[in-house]
Amino acid sequence: MEYTELGRSGLKVAKICLGTMTFGRQVSEADAHALMDHAVARGVDFLDTAEMYPVPPSAETHTHTESIIGRWLAARPGMRQRIVLASKVAGPVRGYQWIRNASPDLTGEDIIRACEDSLRRLQTDYLDLYQIHWPVRNVPMFGAIYFDPARDRPVSSIHEQLDALGRLVRDGKVRAIGLSNETPYGVAEFVRVAEQHGLPRIASVQNPYCLINRSVENGLDETMYRYGVSLLAYSPLGFGLLTGKYDDSGIELQGGRAPGRMALFESMRKQRWGRPEALAAARRYNALAREHGMTPARMALAFCYTKWQVASTIIGVTNREQLDEDIDAWGTTLSPEVLAEIDRIRWEIRDPAQ
């Protein structure tokens, strides 16, 4: 496995990261432990989680993923020193009434308490990377694409958020900090405020990046490049659409096949990945992969693995077969012909899962 530095933090991470949002919902604790064992054995020693996981989130299951990872670490002395562990604090409430009593803000003290709670669940003294899961300020995200100034409201400043993250770094509870679901403005402002006030610089941004959502390339990639901030690409398989498993049957639950999360959860089908245009686009890319002798998943992952914009690609799996397939795609090179065809398709359909 190859490694890369996140931003200017000095933190080295594997080029493939194991996402864990299925642990505790689609994946049992025993199976999750086995998957993490296998991932580490294969060189994927970078794990990403969040206080709100598993997904789809619920009052009954939130925080369970971190607890599953904590028990895995506790049962394996020395494992904590072998892995890079990242987690995230949820932003202001998005219908999740069970997180901070549905607060519309995320204060500095909220960040401190959330991190300390995550450390207890994860049974560790520190996190290698701690991220704000989504912006505190008014921002179009998770399928919304238009900024609406009328939705602005008083919330904690970026300075306050950075100051809290800086306290965690100074106390040795966090090694590096990052953002998620951010915009070019957000990246630039977090860097500016950090440099102005002598606070920790963000090392990374975790945003969606895949064949059906390349919105990172519409300005965020230049911003991150200029400021020395790394991209952690999530949903490289477009919530399963880019594996081809929904090509014939669609995303509604059908008999005769193992259901994926899009088929299992109605809430997922209502999101950007469930748009008819997203599936139509995925079918085009999947057909291209097959025409060139690849599985759809291999082509989609190779696209992320080889893009200069991506520091590490976050893969999400529910079984060992999927994990091996995702890791085995590492090293795949896409020909100039395939890359040109990918760009041609994108020119026609743009980013339907943005």
- Measured CA angle at 261 (ends 259, 266), to 5 deg: 105
Task: Give the dihedral of Cα atoms 95, 96, 101, 106; nearest 10 deg.
Answer: -90
* Residue 251 to residues 76, 211, 276, Cα–Cα distance (Å): 39, 18, 9
Q: Residue 53's closest CA among 130, 107, 133, 112?
A: 133
Q: Which of 3, 53, 146, 234 is catalytic?
A: 53
Work out the number of other CB atoms within 10 angstroms of the CB of residue 188.
Answer: 16
* CB-count exposure of residue 175 (10 Å: 0-12, 13-18, 19+): buried
Q: DSSP assignment of 111-180, as one string? A: HHHHHHHHHHHHT-S-EEEEEESS-SS----TT-----GGG------HHHHHHHHHHHHHTTSEEEEEEE
Q: 290: how many CB neighbours lie within 10 A of its CB?
A: 13
Q: Please tell me the distance from the alpha carbon of residue 79 to that of residue 64, in angstroms, as a whole number.
A: 20
* Residues sharing a CB contact under 8 Å with residue 267, sequence separation 6 or more, in sequence order: 56
In the annotation, is 209 catalytic? Answer: no
List C-alpha distances in Å: 138 to 41, 69, 90: 42, 32, 15
Question: CA 96 from chain center: how many Å?
Answer: 19
Which of 81, 83, 90, 82 minimizes the C-alpha distance to 115?
90
CB atoms within 10 A of CB 121: 19
Taking the C-alpha atoms of residue 190 and residue 158, their distance in angstroms, rounded to an integer, is 7
Region of 349 (left: φ > 0; alpha: ψ -120 to 50; beta: rest) is alpha
Structure tokens given for 209 = 């990046």
Three-state secondary-structure class, residue 311: strand
Q: Which residues are catalytic?
A: 53
